[in-house]
Amino acid sequence: MAARPPSAPVRRVTVEMAAAMAECAGPAAAYGKCMDLNLEKVTRGTCEAEFVAFKNCMQQAVRTLCPGAAGDGAPWANET
C-alpha cells in the first residue's frame, strides 16, 4: 500500500516548524556542540543553559510563526 501524502495541515505544521528551527540555528548548534563535547559524561543538567536557550528560542519562534500553536485555536486544529 502506497503512503498517503500528508494533509495540508500537516504540511503547514512541518513547514512552520522547519522555519522555527531555522530561526534557532544558533542556539541549536550551541546545544548540539555542548552535548557533543560532553557525550561521554552526560547527566541530568548537562548543557542546561544551552538547552534552555534553544527551548526558549523555539517557543518564541513557534509563537511568532505559528499563531495559535501554543494552545487552542491553532490554525490547523480543525482542518481535515
How many independent structural domains does the chain possess? 1
- The parts of the chain modelled with pLDDT lower than 70 are 1, 6, 68-80
pLDDT at residue 10 in the model: 72
**Domain assignment of residue 55, given as a range:** 24-65
Q: Is 55 inside any structural domain?
A: yes
Q: Is 16 inside any structural domain?
A: no
Q: Is 53 inside any structural domain?
A: yes
The whole-model pTM stands at: 0.69
- Answer yes or no: are the C-beta atoms of 39 and 31 closer than 8 Å: no
Q: Is 80 inside any structural domain?
A: no
Q: Is 15 inside any structural domain?
A: no
Model confidence pLDDT, tens digit, residues 11-24? 777 788 888 889 99
